[in-house]
Structure 1
Amino acid sequence: MISTPDFRHKQVVFLNTADFSKPQLSFRNENIVVSGTYGTIDKVPLHRLLAVFIAGETTLTSKLMEKCMANGASLFLLKRNLATYASIGAYAEGNYLLRQKQYALEEEQSIRIAKKIVENKLVNHLALLRSVDCDVVRTRTRLAYKKIMKEKIQKAKDLGELRGVEGLASKDFFQAYFSRINWHKRIPRGKIDENNILLDMGYSFLFNFVDSILRLYGFDTYKGVYHQLFYQRKSLSCDIMEPFRCIVERALVKMHTLGQFDEKDFSVRKGVYGLQYQKNNKYARIFLKEIMNYKMEIHQYVRAYYYLVLNNEGEMGKFIIR
């Protein structure tokens, strides 16, 4: 488990191998070294590294992987479309006591935690709406809408009903918040337009970042409380990222506002949109920068959840977007 002061100085590195020829990552003099045909390109002190995202083909040395594991750093290997196909992670798998407590959570407590997660997500979505002077949601004032949705969350009798409330709130948010950026609708991994592609990218980085922190604490990230067990789905990582989705969503709107978004960066084939791989770096760095601006809040949220599960002390953390 990593302490809060140590975590403050941790870095995340994104490497797009399309930017140079014959890329290689190696370990040298306590640094992670990125090199190519013409020598060293960049280096990062190992003790400050939390995760490395590598898009495209590269060469990794066994010493590098050994050192990353020993120092609590994770490697995420991505395809050129930024889909994660493998990861080499550092995690406290021997924390059997935490996992026993995690598996033993009663249904009532799981639902109570899930409600806190959904309510936190709602509060941040409404904060984003307030930031763009959106005072009406679904024909109601923002404050009236907040009161109604909070009541529905608390009255939900089971996870199915809670998911219904959360789904409705998310739909209302997307329609209101993204109305200024030619928004159609949210279809995960649907590739129906540029905005959905960028949201998928940002959510993927956020998910992997949250997952890497959860594993450092020793959680079984497949065992969630809101998202239930499903084959090969890291349900707990899906749970914990929910209140932080607003970081990615605000980043998307900022891209449009600041003129960083460009339709020419995308291609369309038979109605399916795609981001040109040469432009992956541009948008990936924007999302990673926004996520890293909140790295301490994410770490503290996971830490609070750790003590809640392990010792049944404290409350579920609460994240408020700045």
Structure 2
Amino acid sequence: MRRLLNTIYVTTEDAWLRKDRENIIIEVEGAERGRVPLHLLDGVVCFTRVGASPAIMAACAERGIALSFLAPNGRFLARVEGQRSGNVLLRRTQYRVADAPERAVPIVRGVVAAKAANQRTVIMRALRDHSVTMSEDARDALRTVERQLSHAARRTLVSDTIDVLRGIEGDCARLYFSVFNHLIRPDDPAFVFGGRSRRPPLDRVNALLSFLYAMLGHDCRSALETVGLDPQVGLLHADRPGRASLALDLMEEMRPVLADRLALSLINRRQIGARDFIVEEGGAVQMTEDARKAVLVAWQERKKEELRHPFLGESLSFGLVVHVQAQLLARHLRGDLDGYPAFVWK
């Protein structure tokens, strides 16, 4: 089983990364702020204006350590990577499957059904744990959407085109986010969710979700590259220049489980508040540097939590699930598994 290694998140503006023997050094204004052995690292994610020496970029590339540069809101900017792992035969198979709807549909069907099931589970857990604090209208709305998501998951079983499955996925997203505000404590007016918005996020909930989705996207892309798949060529998400479509496919199963639940937990437990966000003149909302640091700590802690994988039947951390799913997809494409077992959280 793959070890869950560390990811460094560098959020301090004007930080500088350099190499010292077999360590990565983080400096701010010439003073050393951190030192981590390279063999313990899986990735380095840099926010805001962070620089890196050619030596540390080369060291990361040689060791397969993902070095990514993101904007303060989590938007992807650039990535340094070395020679791709895996073999060309797996990627050629991936490309053939992407161009053959009859082979892609069963995989996409599982992904969409799993996402709907996981969205439904988020709602069911909220009803189980917090129904006494909800209004009757909120409970009714959540129960209605829970039933509709269950029906949508069943619809995927009889859907035989990618376009139909994309439509179901879009319907599920619309239903789920139509009641997302009911999952948030009603006594905090700072966190009112008015529907999904991005590029830029227009409220605090969307800013938090977008940031967490960026973290999840980084992990999914790294997992796919680790097993030798091409993150750019997806099945559910169509090809688009500059978009890691297969990473987005893999994210769909995991968004409700990892990102959405963590966002709700941070808000409802008051671990993040209105003071942690900046509203810009045009209406865009960003998190403060301190807020990003706090969320990143919570993200790393959530990834350490254990669960029982529904297909493997083994206990593993949430952080390893994306790597397991990438490996299962690769095994299916190679013909070692009859189907792709999408991740369904119980």
- Normalising by structure 2, report the TM-score: 0.82
Q: Which residue of the other structure, out of 5, 11, 14, is the alignment partner of 1:10?
A: 5
Q: Does 1:89 align with 2:99?
A: no
Whether contact under 8 Å (1:9, 1:48) holds in the other structure is: no
What secondary structure does 2:179 align onto? helix
Q: Which amino acid aligns with 1:153?
A: T
Whether contact under 8 Å (2:15, 2:27) holds in the other structure is: yes
Aligned residues: 313
Whether contact under 8 Å (2:22, 2:37) holds in the other structure is: yes
Whether contact under 8 Å (2:193, 2:206) holds in the other structure is: no
Q: Superposed, which structure 2 residues align to 1:184-223 within 5 Å?
A: 184-223=194-233
Q: Does 1:172 align with 2:172?
A: no
Change (3 A) 1:284 1:110: same
Structure with greater contact order relative to length (CA < 8 Å, sep ≥ 6):
1
Whether contact under 8 Å (1:53, 1:78) holds in the other structure is: yes
| Aligned counterpart, 2:249 | 239
Q: Superposed, which structure 2 residues align to 1:19-30 within 5 Å?
A: 23-30=15-22
Q: Superposed, which structure 2 residues align to 1:5-84 within 5 Å?
A: 7-18=2-13, 23-37=15-29, 39-84=31-76
Q: CA offsets, 1:71-119, max 9 Å, x none?
A: 1101011233332211112452662111111111121110110010011
| Aligned counterpart, 2:153 | 150
| Alpha-carbon distance between aligned partners in 1 of 2:142 and 2:205, rounded to the nearest angstrom | 22
Q: Does 1:102 align with 2:94?
A: yes
| Alpha-carbon distance between aligned partners in 1 of 2:43 and 2:231, rounded to the nearest angstrom | 17
How far did 1:47 drift? 1.2
Q: Which amino acid aligns with 2:302?
A: E
Q: Superposed, which structure 2 residues align to 1:281-296 within 5 Å?
A: 281-291=293-303, 293=305, 294-296=318-320
| Aligned counterpart, 1:275 | 286
How far did 1:271 drift? 5.2
Aligned CA-pair RMSD = 2.3
| Alpha-carbon distance between aligned partners in 1 of 2:148 and 2:183, rounded to the nearest angstrom | 21
Where structure 2 has 5 or more consecutive residues not aligned to the other structure, the ranges are 129-138, 185-191, 306-317
What secondary structure does 1:24 align onto? strand
What secondary structure does 1:104 align onto? helix
How far did 1:314 drift? 4.1
Q: Does 1:307 align with 2:331?
A: yes
Change (3 A) 1:115 1:213: same
| Alpha-carbon distance between aligned partners in 2 of 1:258 and 1:244, rounded to the nearest angstrom | 22
Whether contact under 8 Å (1:23, 1:36) holds in the other structure is: yes
What secondary structure does 2:343 align onto? coil
Q: Which amino acid aligns with 1:302?
A: A
| Alpha-carbon distance between aligned partners in 2 of 1:47 and 1:314, rounded to the nearest angstrom | 35
How far did 1:252 drift? 0.9
| Alpha-carbon distance between aligned partners in 2 of 1:195 and 1:223, rounded to the nearest angstrom | 30
How far did 1:59 drift? 3.1
Q: CA offsets, 1:265-291, max 9 Å, x none?
A: 223344513225433323343334434
Q: Superposed, which structure 2 residues align to 1:126-145 within 5 Å?
A: 126-133=120-127, 140=144, 142=146, 144-145=147-148
| Aligned counterpart, 1:226 | 236
Change (3 A) 1:58 1:190: closer
| Alpha-carbon distance between aligned partners in 1 of 2:149 and 2:72, rounded to the nearest angstrom | 40
Change (3 A) 1:38 1:313: same
Change (3 A) 1:40 1:271: closer
Of stretches 146-155 and 246-255 in structure 1, the one that deviates more from structure 2 is: 146-155
Of stretches 119-128 and 261-270 in structure 1, the one that deviates more from structure 2 is: 261-270
How far did 1:173 drift? 1.7
How far did 1:141 drift? 8.0
Whether contact under 8 Å (1:91, 1:217) holds in the other structure is: no
Change (3 A) 1:81 1:318: closer
Q: Which amino acid aligns with 2:154?
A: E
| Aligned counterpart, 1:248 | 259
Of stretches 107-116 and 70-79 in structure 1, the one that deviates more from structure 2 is: 70-79
What secondary structure does 1:33 align onto? strand
| Alpha-carbon distance between aligned partners in 1 of 2:66 and 2:145, rounded to the nearest angstrom | 44
Q: Which amino acid aligns with 1:50?
A: D
| Alpha-carbon distance between aligned partners in 1 of 2:83 and 2:298, rounded to the nearest angstrom | 27
